[in-house]
């Protein structure tokens, strides 16, 4: 069969000048080595202005713009964000008034509680699952279920924050929920029954857990409803999904539907997904379906690297006077 095809005449290829081509890479955006001991602003200005760096800068700028416009920054996180030591960064952003609401799944709440009580959390599941001791921790079961019973009227997140503060937890300074309670900002826990160790307890009250997490869902919806720009031409709020691959993206999508159904257009809202891997639900439910093109920011990498970088970019910008253009993230192009 090959012998039946006529050879192509490559001498007839249509060529053009390189100067006429549109380029995706130019020298001004390349990384530049920095000196030892340089400032964070100088270091970030010297990063290559591509891909994840560009998205991180855009996200930080959106957060700064949201707070200056008085719009919420809602940070949702999974359990691994606590387990990788990033809680103090979220606490700092709460205390600075940057993060105006937090949300998590049951795992995030459990690890936050345990860390506040003992300064330690997490176990080696591969070991404890074999002898049936996985998750069988009396204090955690008792306290989380007590919070659920109180939370039936109060909301699970608020009840958990108050429990941590009222219990005299020796490491309460490391609790995101305690910080949220002290700042009196919305703090919600979104439970899927049967997914958390505390549901194995004989004292687990499904009705109370359901009522508490439903109250939290409704408060979460109220926060999401405020993420649109107001007035329409100003900056909108920001929804951050950090380290939750399933529960929080699903909860967020339903909250967006509730908000828009009730007349909140959510125009100008920005969303972001930060995680070690790309997953289907965050991609669709956080980055694409709810927002306009260019308003969904995906940054893939370890929490213990991404969150410190994002926090510092925001802090550097938000501490500068607004008229100085502080919402503009430093880039290689603007560095002299």
pLDDT at position 211 is 97
pLDDT at position 336 is 30
Read off the pLDDT of residues 245-291 as tens digits, 9 standing for 90 and up: 999 999 999 999 999 999 999 999 999 999 999 999 999 999 999 99
Q: What are the strands of the beta sheet with 73-77, ordered from one edge?
A: 187-190, 101-105, 73-77, 238-242, 270-275, 296-300
C-alpha–C-alpha distance, residues 141 and 126, integer Å = 20
C-alpha–C-alpha distance, residues 223 and 73, integer Å = 9
Contact between residue 34 and residue 46 where contact means Cβ atoms under 8 Å apart = yes
Peptide bond connecting 116 to the previous residue in cis, omega within 30 degrees of 0: no
Residue 55, C-beta contacts closer than 8 angstroms, at least 6 positions apart: 297, 298, 299
Q: Can you say how many angstroms the Cα of residue 152 is from the centroid of all Cα atoms in its chain?
A: 26
pTM for the full model? 0.91
Residue 37, C-beta contacts closer than 8 angstroms, at least 6 positions apart: none
Burial of 240 per CB tally in 10 Å (0-12, 13-18, 19+): buried
The token pair that represents 92 in the structure block: 């700092």
The token pair that represents 84 in the structure block: 């990788």
CATH of 40-334, one of 3.40.50.1580, 1.10.240.10, 2.60.40.10, 3.40.910.10: 3.40.910.10
- Closest of 253, 294, 228, 289 to residue 66, by C-alpha: 228
Give Rg (Cα) of the chain. 24
Read off the pLDDT of residues 126-142 as tens digits, 9 standing for 90 and up: 999 999 999 999 999 99
The torsion of the CA quartet 290, 293, 297, 298, rounded to 10 degrees, works out to 90
pLDDT at position 125 is 94
pLDDT at position 3 is 61
C-alpha–C-alpha distance, residues 139 and 131, integer Å = 20
pLDDT at position 1 is 55
pLDDT at position 2 is 57
Question: Domain coordinates of the chain in residue numbers?
Answer: 40-334
Question: DSSP of 143-203, one letter per residue?
Answer: HHHHHHHHHHHH-HHHHHHHHHHHTT-TTGGG-HHHHHHHHT--EEEE--TTSSGGGGSTT
Low-confidence stretches of the chain (pLDDT < 50) are 323-327, 329-336
Round the average pLDDT of the chain to a whole number and report it: 93
According to DSSP, the residues that pair with 101 across neighbouring strands are 74
């Amino acid at each position: 069969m090959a012998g039946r095809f006529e050879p192509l005449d490559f001498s007839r290829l249509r060529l053009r000048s390189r100067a006429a081509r549109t380029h995706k890479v130019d020298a001004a955006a390349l990384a530049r080595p920095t000196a030892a001991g340089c400032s964070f602003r100088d270091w970030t200005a010297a990063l290559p202005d591509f891909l994840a760096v560009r998205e991180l800068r855009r996200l930080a700028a959106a957060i700064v713009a949201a707070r200056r416009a008085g719009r919420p920054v809602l940070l949702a996180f999974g359990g691994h964000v606590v387990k990788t030591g990033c809680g103090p960064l979220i606490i700092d952003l709460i205390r600075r008034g940057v993060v105006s609401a937090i949300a998590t799944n049951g795992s995030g709440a459990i690890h936050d509680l345990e860390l506040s009580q003992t300064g330690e959390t997490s176990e080696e599941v591969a070991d404890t699952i074999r002898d049936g001791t996985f998750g069988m921790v009396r204090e955690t079961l008792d306290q989380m279920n007590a919070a659920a019973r109180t939370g039936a009227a109060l909301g699970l997140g608020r009840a958990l924050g108050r429990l941590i503060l009222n219990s005299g937890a020796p490491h309460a300074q490391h609790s995101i929920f305690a910080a949220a309670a002290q700042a009196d900002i919305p703090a919600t826990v979104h439970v899927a029954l049967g997914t958390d160790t505390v549901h194995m307890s004989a004292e687990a009250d499904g009705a109370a857990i359901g009522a508490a997490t439903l109250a939290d869902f409704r408060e979460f919806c109220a926060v999401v409803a405020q993420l649109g720009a107001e007035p329409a031409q100003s900056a909108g709020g920001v929804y951050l999904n950090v380290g939750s691959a399933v529960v929080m993206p699903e909860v967020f999508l339903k909250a967006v539907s509730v908000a828009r159904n009730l007349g909140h257009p959510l125009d100008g809202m920005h969303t972001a997904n930060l995680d070690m891997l790309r997953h289907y639900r965050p991609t669709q439910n956080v980055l694409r379906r709810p927002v306009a093109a260019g308003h969904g920011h995906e940054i893939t990498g370890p929490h213990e690297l991404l969150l410190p970088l994002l926090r510092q970019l925001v802090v550097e910008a938000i501490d500068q006077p607004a008229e100085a253009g502080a919402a503009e993230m430093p880039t290689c192009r603007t560095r002299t």
